[in-house]
Structure 1
Amino acid sequence: MRPPVRLALAAAAASALQIPLQPPNGANVQPVLVESDALADRVGAGNLQKRAEALYEIAELSVDEYGHPTRVIGSRGHLGTINYIKSTLDGLGGYYNLSDQIFSAVSGSVYQAKLVIGDVVPSFTTMGLTPATENKEPVHGDLVLVGDLGCKSSDYPDTAMGSILLIRRGECSFGQKSELAGQAGAVAAVVVNSEQDEIHGTLGAPSPNHVATFGLSGATGGGFIEKLESGEVLDAIAYMDADVDIIETMNIVAQTTHGDPDNCVMLGGHSDSVTEGPGINDDGSGSLSVLEVAVQLSHYKVNNCVRFGWWSGEEEGLLGSNYYVASLSEEENAKLRLFMDYDMMASPNFAYQVYDATDAANPVGSEKLRDLYTAWYEDHGLNYSLIPFDGRSDYDGFIRHGIPAGGIATGAEGVKTEAEEDMFGGRAGEWYDPCYHQLCDDLHNVNLTAWEVNTKASTFALSPFALSTTRSTANAGWV
């Protein structure tokens, strides 16, 4: 088993870099209150591009260990990312109080994997935090179709013992499906997407019952399902060389040294990538937008404290943000009035997406934030679409703990529609981010126009909350 990379390597990773873009001025609080348009005008594509170039150079610190650039937690690339963020904030001359929040997290690496079904070698993905096949050797067995969606033990037939199971996506988590497969005696599991395209995900918290778990697109896996349902017998071979380790990682939190400390607004993005690539869009774009806003805010003063967070372990299951919110005391939770989430701000085949965070389904105040984003797009003659606020990113822990939240994005592995092509340009029928969770999520995988627009939109949403000291006495929402 490969030894986990510890936080002690952060200094070594940092020494290999020349940290660019030290923030301008910022040594003292400026006498001018923040104003939306002025703050937005300070955001430019040039700085964002330079930060992306620095981040890719940081991701390359992991090449010796992983064979390619990555910023997955525990890697030198992620430790370098943490140092880059902290060094940039330290250069602001005391505008922010910085704190580190160290916690234990699970990190998984897949070094090699193969899957053969019948006489076909299908294109497949591997689930995050998947264990290896037994003894890291190939396993053989019949391919057995699991009943229904594989979310209860009764879905697993007696023939699951010693077999490789084919499981439909839906209803329950990938981790639950893998665990039930292991409990049924399977030697590996293959999850088939409910849509035609590739499937990506994680098994989440490790279980001794998890088995090596692969993923197939709906287009590929659907054909195997049809064959098994028609009575055809298929055998399969699966191989996975993988490790799952416990490592130490950290969140970074920065809070203005002035402004009402009992009335804080927060922005955040995740600092890590998946193992498979450098993560320049996911979520380099979001975390760098947050960093650039923090830098430019240092030219102004605020009435409410502004807090920024860079979460670790998002790709392993929103670990860092959930840890942060769960660690807040009731008193500290009450001080945090709003959270804005920025995850994937620069997808190449982008759509301007606003989370449809309503007060009816979420903490009161979420809807006002949603409406600020939509108003900004409308004021600038830009189309936008509302997307489900379904807990897929780091805002989830905040709304579960009663903190209003919202955010914007540009799309992941979803497929752009023809209507969206008319609204935003790009290519219908293709993913918003064709390099989502892949090695090609590099410097060529960002749309600078979308990135700049969305970073400006984030400043527009921040400014009124940084200024307003009025809050509702009836609920946690802003008024």
Structure 2
Amino acid sequence: MKLLPLAGYAGLAAAAAYDSQIPLHGEPGHAAPAGTSAKGKIVDSKELQDTIRPENLMERARKLYAIAKLSEDEHNHPTRVIGSAGHNGTLAYIHAVLAELGDYYTVSSQPFPAVSGGIYESRLVIGQEVPASATPMGLTPPTKGREPVFGKFSLVANNGCQASDFPHAVEGSIALIRRGECPFGDKSALAGKAGAIAAVIYNNEPGSMSGTLGTPQPDHVATFGLSKEEAEPYVAELEQGKHLDGIAYIDSVVNTITTNNVLAQTKGGDPENCVMLGGHSDSVGEGPGINDDGSGTISLLEVATQLAKFEVNNCVRFAWWSAEEEGLLGSDYYVAQLPAEENLKIRLFMDYDMMASPNFAYQIYNATNAVNPVGSEELRDLYVNWYEEQGLNYTFIPFDGRSDYDGFIRNGIPGGGIATGAEGVKTDEEVGLFGGKAGDWYDPCYHQLCDDLGNVNMTAWEVNTKLIAHSVATYAKSFDGFPTRTPSEVSMLSESRAYTPKYHGNRLVM
């Protein structure tokens, strides 16, 4: 892996602190003095949990929001999207906090290329109608010349996953393709190879569709997603041989930039047996991301700060991933660079993304050993047992590739995590378990400008940060009873994981 030492970020931290006129240091009294290490006392779960204070979490949130405001000149609103001043300031803040912990951690930066995209304008017209559900795919290229393109619609056979599915009539037309079987990016590329001027992929199940084309390919064409309900009448017309004209327009940009993961590993503890945990440092371009995933970023920083008061038996490795919102790019890159022997040193990975949703539920990823690397279920049960010990309700959510655990479990590393909910709708049953409002999103400001300081539930945030502390302390102290790893796990994944999940990050990929 290519890692840069902390010293390489000193100038960035200083510049960010000066430019924003806000302190980027940790709060006094949080940890051992700079230049010292904790001595003598092995970490204890209850004692580490007792160090977590909601006022410390909120103080860090205020700093993160001020950092997000550094992007206002460029983006016209606060954001911490990769490449922005707000994200650069976030990385600087993480480094600065860790630097104040003295020599407790080895801190490094891992640069990598990340693809980012933006949609400036878009419009889809089918016949005489403008379908309300038409949404440009993430990382879609623009239409030719960034101008509207005109053509008839051509219906693609089957699911548009083979070149033979695209009739000769697709050339010069707008390809209408059913979702299913293969990733959206493959469908768009095949449409481009067939000569389509644009593509529309319609849902094969009820509802609209917000997807991404994923890694750019030379043959991708401007591509929209469309709901099943709005698509069905058009599909029927084309199946009857009727002519259907359309206009497609997307003004977009897809760029490759360099961004950085931040890693901090305890100098103490067995380096052959590492507890690893992470959250992502970036937000979407639409807002400051104080809950998504400022809450996870801050929880990890606070736990890392308080852990410096203790010694550990097993090494602990914290990670702040970049470009998660672009499709889990930072965590995927990190795992892909791991040599097999380094992979095996990671006994488990714990994902902490969105710890403080306003309309929260205590959610545990339903990671089982039957379909994931062995040890994932034991981690899941640690969360279950802790919530039950606190007298708190919890619910299981799919372990479906939506967050940074995905690269780890795909490479044989046990994984899991907790969350408090994103754009999912809270049910009446969940209101009985957790309170809140039925029919609303768990986070009503998910991926929006209002994901700011008013968009966090402090009760949930404190509870889940204590659970993070418990997970770290438990495995930093001992892996007794936790499954050992074998080299075969690195190279041979379970057959049930050998498929492309519907999600890779927050957007559908197929």
TM-score between the two structures when normalised by the length of structure 2:
0.84
Alpha-carbon distance change, 118 to 356 in structure 1, aligned in 2, over 3 angstroms: same
The one of 462, 467, 473 equivalent to 1:457 is 467
Would you say 1:293 and 2:299 are equivalent positions?
no
Structure 2 unmatched ranges of 5 or more? 1-8, 488-510
Distance 1:14 1:159, change over 3 A: farther
Q: Is the 8 A contact 2:126 2:245 kept in 1?
A: yes
In the TM superposition, residue 220 of structure 1 has moved relative to its aligned partner by: 4.5
Matched, 1:106 2:142: no
The yes-or-no answer on 1:392 pairing with 2:402 is yes
- Give the counterpart letter for 2:55 in structure 1: G
Q: Residues 344 and 485 of structure 2 are in contact (CA less than 8 Å); yes or no, is this contact kept in structure 1?
A: no
Indicate the residue corresponding to 2:507 in structure 1. none
Equivalent residue, structure 2, for 1:62 = 71
Q: Is the 8 A contact 1:21 1:51 kept in 2?
A: no
1:73 is paired with a residue whose SS is coil
Between stretches 307-316 and 279-288, larger displacement belongs to 279-288
**Matches for 1:308-327 after TM superposition, within 5 Å:** 308-327=318-337
Taking a change above 3 Å as real, the CA distance of residues 51 and 118 of structure 1, as seen in their structure-2 partners, is farther
How many residues are treated as equivalent by the alignment?
471
The equivalent residue for 2:505 is none
Once the two structures are overlaid, the 10-residue window that deviates more, 97-106 or 381-390, is 381-390
Residue from 62, 67, 80 that aligns with 1:71 = 80
What is the distance in 2 between the residues matched to 1:257 and 1:103? Answer: 25
Going from structure 1 to structure 2, the CA distance change for 1:51 and 1:171 (only over 3 Å counts) comes to farther
Q: 1:195, CA displacement in angstroms? A: 5.3
**What secondary structure does 1:436 align onto?**
coil
The equivalent residue for 1:191 is: 201
On the 8 A contact 2:113/2:258 being kept in 1, the answer is: yes
| Structure 2 contact 361–395 (Cα < 8 Å) conserved | yes
Instruction: Specify the alignment match of 2:506 in structure 1.
Output: none
Cα contact 2:374–2:483 (8 A) shared by 1: no
Comparing 27-36 with 265-274, which one deviates more in the overlay? 27-36
Residues 1:125 and 2:131 aligned together: no
Look up the match of 2:45. Answer: 36
- Tell me the equivalent position of 2:183: 173
**What residue identity is the alignment partner of 1:465?**
Y
User: 1: CA distance between counterparts of 2:164 and 2:436?
Assistant: 45
The one-letter code of the counterpart of 1:16 is: D
Match 2:384 to one of 356, 361, 374: 374
The runs of 5 or more residues in structure 1 that have no matched partner are 1-6
- Equivalent position to 1:139, from 139, 144, 149: 149
Write the deviation string for residues 187-206 of structure 1: whole angstroms up to 9, x where unpaired. Answer: 22233345555433322111
Q: Which residue of 1 is the match for residue 32 of structure 2?
A: 26
Look up the match of 1:333: 343
The equivalent position to 2:173 in structure 1, one of 148, 163, 167, is 163
Change (3 A) 1:192 1:405: same
For 2:471 and 2:260, the matched residues in 1 are separated by: 27
Decide whether the 8 Å contact of 2:17 with 2:24 is kept in 1.
no
Q: What RMSD in Å do the two structures reach over aligned CA positions? A: 2.7
Query: What amino acid does structure 2 have at the position aligned with 1:99?
Result: S
Give distance in 2, aligned partners of 1:412 and 1:336.
28
CA drift at 1:181: 2.1
Q: Secondary structure at the match of 1:315?
A: coil
| Distance in 2, Cα, partners of 1:13 & 1:114 | 39
Matching residue's letter, 2:96: S
**In structure 2, do the counterparts of structure 1 residues 186 and 424 end up closer, same or farther at CA, with 3 Å as the change threshold?**
farther
2-structure distance, mates of 1:324, 1:279:
23
Task: Give the Cα separation in 1 of the matches to 2:159 and 2:445.
Answer: 28
> 1:375 aligns to what SS in structure 2?
helix
Query: Cα deviations across residues 30-83 of structure 1 (Å, max 9, x unaligned)?
Result: 433222222222223322223222222222222222333322222222111111
Q: Distance in 2 between matches of 1:446 and 1:152?
A: 46
1:374–1:79 CA distance, 2 compared to 1 (3 A): same
| CA distance in 2 between partners of 1:316 and 1:263 (Å) | 31
| Structure-2 separation of matches of 1:115 and 1:152 | 25
Once the two structures are TM-superposed, the CA of residue 14 in structure 1 deviates from its matched residue by 4.5
* Greater mean alpha carbon deviation, residues 236-245 or residues 110-119: 110-119
Percent identical pairs in the alignment equals 61
Shift in CA distance, 401/198, structure 1 to aligned 2, threshold 3 Å: same
Could you tell me how far 1:368 is from its partner in structure 2? 1.0
CA distance in 1, matches of 2:459, 2:204: 32
Quick check: 1:235 aligned with 2:245?
yes
Change (3 A) 1:474 1:312: closer
Mapping for residues 358-369 of structure 1, pairs under 5 Å: 358-369=368-379
Checking the alignment, whether the CA contact within 8 Å between 1:364 and 1:476 is kept in structure 2 is no
The answer as to whether partners of 1:365 and 1:476 remain within 8 angstroms in 2 is no
The offset of 1:272, in angstroms, is 1.5
